[in-house]
Amino acid sequence: MDYELMVSSIPLYAKAAAYTLYLAFCGIALSLIIGLFCALVLYFRVRFLSVFVKAYIELSRNTPLLIQLFFLHFGLKIEAHICAFVALAFLGGSYMAEAFRSGLEAVEKIQIESALSIGLSRFQLMLYVVLPQALIVSVPALGANAIFLLKETSVVSIISITDLVAVAKDLISVYYATDEALLMLVISYLILLVPISFAIWFLEKRVRYATFGN
């Protein structure tokens, strides 16, 4: 092991890790917005939009992110960084939609009927009764999807984006330091993912305690 090379490459991995987090954050944020919109469309059975939402979910979930990136970047000639954001949001939106949908459908009908019976409007019903409970139920799935999308950023190097994988590939090609580069890559992803996984676990625990008291 060339430990001197590993130490000297830390700034490269740190810069790539920061961009990976930025890319993942933007992709996750956009996918949450798309997912919630799609889930609401399906929940309320909006006739015209439901068909397109179902088609989008099937297309997104049944095509690899790599193929989506190729189509956007080489087919539609979209700039690489924008392509990465769009592809992550396109993929993540479908998974977030299913997570939100399961949460919405978990709200008992009797609560909806009770809220309407005391004079709440449809908007108030959704804002104060349905959405808070749906979000609580959806937290584990949303957290798992967020981690999934962060790991999926490893694919974007294929369209010449300097992420963690790209840095490792460059070190291997220049210095032939395969073991060192891959070890640093593993360590970098662990540094990113372990704290986020713990934070999501802690959030799930707090939500479960606030809801059920245990």
Token pair listed for 15? 């810069």
**Contact present, 18 and 73 (Cβ < 8 Å):** no
**Beta-carbon-side half-sphere exposure of residue 52 (alpha carbons within 13 Å):** 8
Angstrom CA distances, 130 to 106, 109, 125, 211, stand at 9, 10, 6, 14
CA 78 to chain centre: 21
Where are the strands (E) in the chain, listed by range? none
Mind listing the pLDDT tens digit for each residue in 11-30?
Answer: 999 999 999 999 999 999 99
Which two tokens mark 127?
Answer: 């804002």
Number of domains comprising the chain? 1
> Residue 51 maps to which CATH number?
1.10.3720.10
pLDDT over threshold 60, residue 121: yes
Question: pLDDT tens digits, residue range 56-114?
Answer: 999 999 999 999 999 999 988 889 889 999 999 999 999 999 999 998 888 888 887 78
Secondary structure letter of residue 45 according to DSSP: T
What is the number of H-type helices and E-type strands within the chain?
A: 10, 0
Cβ–Cβ under 8 Å, residues 103 and 134: yes
pLDDT grade for 128, boundaries at 50, 70 and 90: confident
For the chain, the average pLDDT equals 88
pLDDT value, residue 116: 76
- State the pLDDT at residue 149: 93
Its domain, for residue 156, covers: 3-212
